[in-house]
């Protein structure tokens, strides 16, 4: 559930030509302020947009009007690159800036030219899209768990696997509830019960996994 895509860190290297890009590459750069909605769900997606500096959050609005938080994206990373080539090439989410950002925009035909002429660029693109698909699949798996405690268990076990039994989240309770697609008080209740049962410990945004075995049982 981490948002690190190391393969895009060498984007500048891939297309290096002195100033970081091939001298003949067509592109434009846009700047946006903090807390600005820069793309909306349904917006046409006719260029590859790469977040060069700053961070954004993506949110999906379901048809019932609820917010289903998806993820926080830190630079450098492309935004929804897969949709550049989809039949209905429209943004699947709302994109909101969390700080001042810089966006590199490469038109679609230019992307195609780069991919055919620069195999490395193509492979990075493929790898990134593959990881995105995997991310969505994980998300699907999380949402398909029906109980709140089950979702918490799935999520915390995943985090513990990556960062050890004690870790700090960058989400508050409300954001975590959105992430799980549940109501905030319901999440708080489940967390309280799990603390009561001695399975976990929570202090602000710091989480401790105390009993992995019981956590796993919650997935059953």
Binding positions for DNA, rule: CB under 7 A? 146-149, 172-174, 181-192, 202, 204-205
Per CB under 8 A, does 62 bind its own copies?
A: yes
Q: What sign has the CA pseudo-torsion 151, 138, 94, 9? A: positive
Q: At what angle do helices 108-117 and 119-144 cross, to 10 degrees?
A: 120
DSSP designation for 41: T
Q: Is 170 in the site for its own copies (CB under 8 A)?
A: no
Residues numbered 76 to 105 that lie near its own copies (CB under 8 A) are: 82-89, 92
Q: Which of 175, 128, 133, 122 is nearest to 14 (CA)?
A: 122
Minimum Å gap between C-beta 214 and DNA is 14
- Determine the Cα–Cα distance for residues 133 and 203; give it in Å rounded to an integer: 33
Per-residue binder mask for its own copies (CB under 8 A), 104-143, x = binder: --------x--xx--x--xx--xx-xxxxxx-xx-xxx-x
List, as one string, the DSSP characters of 99-121: S-EEEEEEEHHHHHHHHHH-HHH
The yes or no reply on residue 72 touching its own copies (CB under 8 A) is no
Nearer Cβ to DNA, position 9 or 147? Answer: 147
- Which residues of this chain interact with its own copies, rule CB under 8 A? 60, 62-66, 68, 82-89, 92, 112, 115-116, 119, 122-123, 126-127, 129-134, 136-137, 139-141, 143-147, 150, 154, 181, 219-220
């Amino acid at each position: 559930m981490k948002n690190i895509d190391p393969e895009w860190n060498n984007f500048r290297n891939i297309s290096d030509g002195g100033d970081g890009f091939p001298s003949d590459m067509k592109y434009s750069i846009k700047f946006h302020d903090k807390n600005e909605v820069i793309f909306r769900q349904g917006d046409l997606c006719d260029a590859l947009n790469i977040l060069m500096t700053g961070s954004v959050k993506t949110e999906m609005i379901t048809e019932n009007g609820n917010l289903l938080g998806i993820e926080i994206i830190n630079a450098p990373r492309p935004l929804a690159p897969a949709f550049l080539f989809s039949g209905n090439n429209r943004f699947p989410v709302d994109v909101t800036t969390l700080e001042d950002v810089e966006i590199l925009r490469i038109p679609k035909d230019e992307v195609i030219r780069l991919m055919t002429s620069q195999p490395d660029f193509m492979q990075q693109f493929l790898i990134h899209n593959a990881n995105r698909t995997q991310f969505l699949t994980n998300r699907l798996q999380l949402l398909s768990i029906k109980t709140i405690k089950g979702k918490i268990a799935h999520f915390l076990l995943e985090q513990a696997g990556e960062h050890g039994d004690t870790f700090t989240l960058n989400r508050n309770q409300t954001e975590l509830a959105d992430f799980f697609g549940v109501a905030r008080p319901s999440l708080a209740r489940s967390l309280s019960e799990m603390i009561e049962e001695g399975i976990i410990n929570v202090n602000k945004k710091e989480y401790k996994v105390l009993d992995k075995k019981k956590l796993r049982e919650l997935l059953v």
